[in-house]
A and B are shown apart, each in its own frame.
Chain A
Amino acid sequence: MPKAQLTRRTALQGLAGASTLPLWARYAQAQTSEPIKLGFQVHSTGIGSAYGRWYGRTTEAAVKLINEAGGINGRQVEVIAEDDGTDPKRGAEVLEKFANRHGCDVAFGTLFSHVVIGSAPRAGELKMPYFVVSEGHHVASGMLNRYTLQPGITDVKSQVIAMAPFVADNLAKKITMIFPDFAFGHNHRDFFTEAITAQGGEVLAQIAIPPSETSFTRYFPQIPRETELVYHVMVGPAVLTFVKELGEFFGPSRPEIFGFIDSLEAVDLRSPGLDFLEGTYFWEGMPRYAQPDQSEHDKFYREAVGVDANGASMSDAKDVSTYAHMFGCWETLHIIKDGMESAGYQGPQDRAKLIEAVEAMTDMPESLAHPQGNKVFNGKTHQVFGHQYISRVEDGRMVKLHTTSIEDGLYPDEVDYTTQPF
């Protein structure tokens, strides 16, 4: 059979093929030099704005670092920030904007649990990987979908399981809980009650307060007299008022107090009216005040984001950071980078590969990418597990007292997202 027989038909086919060549070659070129677009869903306004401001600064610092080191797969990273107003409905709209208007590769950065719960279904429909930095148990509970992951911050369930033994052994057994009346607060209510009961403790009362509340004294008479420890966690614009009024209510005869630092994130511990917190305990996701045993990674991270040793902005000592949470953005961005690199991510067609690459992650050793400490990721539940810190207020600053182990915060899987189709 003659090998190269040039007929009119094959010639035309060849020509047609050649004529398309410049087009797809240009496309491939564009793919490699165009920036990777990260849609940053940020609480710039609404009740989460203090977190939004610092999540923004942390994200900026992390992306700068990643870009200086050559970006992801040789491509620069571009952050496209959209305000969700800390509102679930707008959250879902923001994800649509990322997908349809901006052509983002992934979305990330949401904190407030109701916004996550409102946005995640849309992320699933848009097939947009959605990396949340929220603490809520909704990811690991199986309530969301395969496109939603939380690899940069631990969830409330793990946090309270890890800390309940410390509270029961060292502080008190008769506890009254005060928490915000939405998904995140309900996580605290359910899982801490469960965990402390398992430790032989007892929750005497559960006081739910709407996160938009501005006046709190009226709720405090519900605290039973025999309470040995008040467990408080509050969010929203009026957290300072909340803690101040708590102090005014108890006066000199306060019980032990254990709070989640959420109640005072972005608030100066030396604000007037907070002296009564001296000797009380806080959970911190990452110690706000630089500790004597500060790691080199914390030091580097702190400086990169622009935070001083007291956890405030280097340029304005009154602008206190949300230090216990915002590391989650930094770590999540490094995980997105690692995931995209091991998946050989080129564009939106590789989104499923990216999720599989992140699901395959397990150990995350403490490093520049993980300054909060080493972690273990569970690919099935899309949730990361790590250390928790318990601090005590001494001389108006928080001093780290106890670090929980990763094992302290483990619980059985409640879902296997990897079995869900893309």
Chain B
Amino acid sequence: MEFGPHLLLAVLEGAVTAAVLSLTAAGLSLVFGVMRVVNIAHGEFFMLGAVLAWVLVQVFPGHPAVGFVVALIVAPLIVGSIAAVADLTILKRINYDPERTIVATIGLLYIIQQVTLMTYGPDARAVEAPFNQRLALPWVDWGEGGLQVYYPWGLSTTTYKIAVIGAAGALLCGIWAMMTRTRLGLVMRATQADREMAQAFGIPVERVYAMVFGLGAGLAALAAVLIVPIQQAHYLMGGDPLLLSFIVVIIGGLGSLPGTVLAAVFIGLSDGVISVFFSPTLAKIFATLLVGLVLVFRPQGLFGERPA
């Protein structure tokens, strides 16, 4: 494949990764920002979203779009409620102690993963996309007779992949608007800024915590529902998103939404480009190296605030 079309394909593939990653990482970042909880089970909430999407599509047969739309709404709600319940029954009981929450969420990770294995089974199952048309992409090149438009071999994407990128963008704008423009966002930011002061002002901090934990998990589930028609639902699929989300959140700055999104786009695109031109393993090595560099030279992340 020629260099130009090759690069465009790499960028398109990277953009899909970036879209899903930014949603997943935004959930992780939100939970850490507001609650100071490092949620190791985040990847399992992602997996649960994909698995529930498959289940819901089975419940609503007929046109694939029907089941998919139901899954898009219901799966994040179910996963969010599970997370909120987990917060109230587990994390609250251990007073959000940083070390103990890590251990508790590791436990949660295994519980969710193994229960899924015992019920849903070990197979990868496909969810049909609501629409999926192959789009051959044109390329402009300087040929013998001047500028020429042609369709390079293999350069294509699908309507669904474009839709995933668009949907992720819209959702991120929605989260941003919620955090900055609504009362709910104000309450969350107040809790993030100073928990005790927020409580003194009558903010029900415990309820905010449960909601934030549910929202974070719901975002991961939403990202998974979007990706599942491309990737299939499998009980072990939570590992990669967890790792990449942590990479993104560390680079972007824990708790910073713009930093998270920017880092997700950067990691997603570099993953796409490096994977296509070199190898996916090298892309992972590069991302991990970047985390190391950020931790050494700018421990608070690109957009994080230096602790006072």
Cross-chain contact B134 with A238 (CB below 8 angstroms): no
A261 at the B interface (CB under 8 A) = no
Cross-chain contact A45 with B276 (CB below 8 angstroms): no
B59 at the A interface (CB under 8 A) = no
- State A248–B156 Cα separation when bound (angstroms): 7
Cross-chain contact B230 with A248 (CB below 8 angstroms): no
Cross-chain contact A218 with B126 (CB below 8 angstroms): no
Residues of chain A within 8 A (CB-CB) of B17 are 215
Cross-chain contact A218 with B276 (CB below 8 angstroms): yes
- State A248–B129 Cα separation when bound (angstroms): 14
Residues of chain A within 8 A (CB-CB) of B281 are 210
Residues of chain B within 8 A (CB-CB) of A124 are none
The listed residue (B121, B154, B230, B240) touching A250 by CB distance below 8 A is B154
A223 to chain B, nearest CB (A): 7
- State A250–B153 Cα separation when bound (angstroms): 7
B64 closest partner in A (C-beta): A272
Cross-chain contact A221 with B232 (CB below 8 angstroms): no
B37 at the A interface (CB under 8 A) = no
Cross-chain contact B231 with A215 (CB below 8 angstroms): yes
Residues of chain A within 8 A (CB-CB) of B136 are 251
- State A214–B235 Cα separation when bound (angstroms): 13
A83 closest partner in B (C-beta): B122
A271 at the B interface (CB under 8 A) = yes
Cross-chain contact B124 with A221 (CB below 8 angstroms): no
The proximity string for B residues 136-157 relative to A, scoring 1 for CB distances below 8 Å and 0 otherwise, is: 1000000000000000011010
B250 at the A interface (CB under 8 A) = no
The listed residue (B9, B122, B134, B231) touching A214 by CB distance below 8 A is B231
Residues of chain A within 8 A (CB-CB) of B64 are 272
A213 closest partner in B (C-beta): B280
Residues of chain B within 8 A (CB-CB) of A100 are none
Q: Is chain A's binding surface mostly helix, strand, loop or mixed?
A: loop
- State A240–B125 Cα separation when bound (angstroms): 9
B99 to chain A, nearest CB (A): 30
A319 to chain B, nearest CB (A): 9
The proximity string for A residues 218-243 relative to B, scoring 1 for CB distances below 8 Å and 0 otherwise, is: 10110101000000000001101100
Residues of chain A within 8 A (CB-CB) of B1 are 221, 223, 225
Interface hits, B97-131 → A, CB 8 Å: 117, 121-124, 126, 128
A271 to chain B, nearest CB (A): 7
B221 at the A interface (CB under 8 A) = no
- State A45–B236 Cα separation when bound (angstroms): 10
A220 closest partner in B (C-beta): B154
A247 closest partner in B (C-beta): B134
Cross-chain contact A238 with B154 (CB below 8 angstroms): no
Cross-chain contact B154 with A223 (CB below 8 angstroms): yes
Q: Is chain B's binding surface mostly helix, strand, loop or mixed?
A: mixed
- State A4–B175 Cα separation when bound (angstroms): 105
Cross-chain contact B126 with A46 (CB below 8 angstroms): no
The proximity string for A residues 44-63 relative to B, scoring 1 for CB distances below 8 Å and 0 otherwise, is: 11100110110000000000
Cross-chain contact A218 with B232 (CB below 8 angstroms): no
The proximity string for A residues 20-49 relative to B, scoring 1 for CB distances below 8 Å and 0 otherwise, is: 000000000000000000000000111001
- State A221–B153 Cα separation when bound (angstroms): 9
Residues of chain B within 8 A (CB-CB) of A237 are 123-124, 232, 234, 236
B276 to chain A, nearest CB (A): 5
A197 at the B interface (CB under 8 A) = no
Residues of chain B within 8 A (CB-CB) of A253 are 153
B10 at the A interface (CB under 8 A) = yes
A249 at the B interface (CB under 8 A) = yes
- State A214–B229 Cα separation when bound (angstroms): 12
Cross-chain contact B158 with A248 (CB below 8 angstroms): yes
A182 to chain B, nearest CB (A): 14
Cross-chain contact A214 with B232 (CB below 8 angstroms): yes
Cross-chain contact A240 with B10 (CB below 8 angstroms): no
- State A121–B275 Cα separation when bound (angstroms): 36
Cross-chain contact B128 with A272 (CB below 8 angstroms): yes
A273 at the B interface (CB under 8 A) = yes
Cross-chain contact B154 with A45 (CB below 8 angstroms): no
Name 30 interchain pairs, CB-CB below 8 A, sorted by A: A45-B117, A50-B123, A52-B122, A213-B280, A214-B232, A215-B13, A215-B17, A217-B9, A217-B13, A218-B10, A218-B13, A218-B275, A220-B154, A221-B6, A221-B9, A221-B154, A237-B123, A237-B232, A237-B234, A238-B232, A240-B124, A241-B230, A241-B232, A248-B134, A248-B158, A249-B156, A250-B154, A251-B136, A251-B156, A272-B64
List B residues at the A interface (Cβ < 8 Å): 1, 6, 9-10, 13, 17, 64, 117, 121-124, 126, 128, 132, 134, 136, 153-154, 156, 158, 230-232, 234, 236-237, 240, 272, 275-276, 280-281
Beyond A44-B122, A49-B123, A238-B231, 4 extra complex contacts between A and B, CB < 8 Å: A45-B122, A50-B123, A215-B231, A272-B128
